[in-house]
Structure 1
Amino acid sequence: MGDAPVFRFKDFMREDFPIKFEIRSETNYNPVLHGHEYLEICYLINGSCLHRLEEGQTVLKRGDLFSIPPYMKHCFMPLDGQAFELVQLDFMPSLLEETIRELSSAPLDRFLLIHLSPRSQFVIERLMEGIKSELESKEAYHQYAVRADLLKFLVILSREIRGWRLEKESGYEQAIREVMEYLERHLDKPLTLKEAAAKISVSPNYFSTLFSKVAGVTYSGFLAELRLRKAGELLLQTNLSIAEILERAGYKHTGHFYKMFKHKYGVTPIEYRKNANSGK
């Protein structure tokens, strides 16, 4: 964690019931990057604020909900002096460990940020009020009431994430198809996998997963197939030299091209053209 402070759950919570509820605002916030050994789920009720992470910062608005996994450095700050009200729910994963494992579509072990639908905003806010009230009153069996509301909270969050993922993946599918079309038109100057991933604003690893899912083949496999198909078409339809065909199909190494071509077509490029011209 470097110099960033790490808050321990024992300093803020009961060991037998490790949960804490707080309201943060423009007059009550910690501007210092810090981590904590417990899970933190935050929901912005009103206004806007700035959320800083080690790798950057995000502007949050009403209806945004996010989770901060243990030991991730972060902090909140007002945005241009604006007022904000943010609910901060801290708890140890052990409080609902089995439930969290079962609700696998809610990846609370890493940073997550989603904007809740209006309906979910309403329900989440009522649940937050219920948790706050039970923790403050400490009436008999309040631990069970808090766990029940927290369970409902996680169920709603899991459903929201599932819908968000389906919608996002649908958009990504179209973006992947556009990348595939681009590659077909620009074989002489293809995108690297990293460039293609940046084009749709995802990590290279996630792009590889999405691409394989949509195309049914890896990114490199798709490019290899495109190049061989293009080379075959140019051999049959033009009188271009092998060197010119290599350039147009995006090949940089002659030996690699000959090896791949013979593996696919069973003959060398020159034999392929001769056979076509002789009607074989």
Structure 2
Amino acid sequence: MSVIEDRIGPKYRIGESSFTIEYMSRHDGNAMPQPHAHPFYELYYLLEGERVYSMNGQLLTACKGDLILINPHDIHTTSKGTTPGFERILIGFSPAFATGMELGLCGLLPFACSRMLHFTEADQPEMERMLWQMLQECKERKPHYEIAVRSLLAQVLINIHRVEENTRQSSPGPIHPMQDKISEIAAYVNNHYSDPLTLEEAAARFYISPSYLSRMFSRFTGFRFSEYLRVVRVREAQRRLLSTQERVQLIAEKVGFEHTAHFNKTFKQVTGTTPLRYRKEQGVHS
């Protein structure tokens, strides 16, 4: 693989938060400093290099030609692979932007789950052509470029659907003997977030020393064990705030917080807002 130089293109936007697209090339393999979630869809296409992607208890090693599909509100973060440099195109689009396309896309969204999809060498050129063309349309802003971008996004989503139908390829194997174990532990946290979990208890359950688990968990997920547990709990709280009429105190207890005040503080640290304000802003009335 050729040496990857730092090039970070502008983030192009359509509307305030309807559609974004950005090209990035980094030689140092930077990582997201915090677990991340947002109310829009995300497509992360790797042009070169290798990334370890963590989302919803999964750890996936992405290589050239891999596309990460992220549903709204799903937690994810990235970290370095065995080679630090990478080159990617990142797209974000709101559900409203997608449903606004009168192109029969109802069955293509939402994605069944956030996951990784591999494009073969034969399929990569067409996928990359559409992504680069979207970037070019947003850069030049010629008349009716918004319609052109919508059309290209529709083609991308159709292409994703066709590749999924035609190929059911498994994810690449782990790049480190501990990767499967860390993925197993992350899945355990996602299933037992309401329990009083600690790093020491998880280490004992999976027969690993706490210090080694701490190092490996940070390496493969991009954040500490306690941070991951905290965000998983807040993510579940967000779901409950939007899908139930339960009181904040009850939700705090159900997702593993002993004290409501601690829950409120943690929720604001992770989301930037309070639980009640989050529920109100999302249109759910108490």
Q: Using structure 1 for the length normalisation, give the TM-score.
A: 0.50
Larger Rg: 1
Structure with the largest fraction of helix: 1
Q: Using structure 2 for the length normalisation, give the TM-score.
A: 0.49
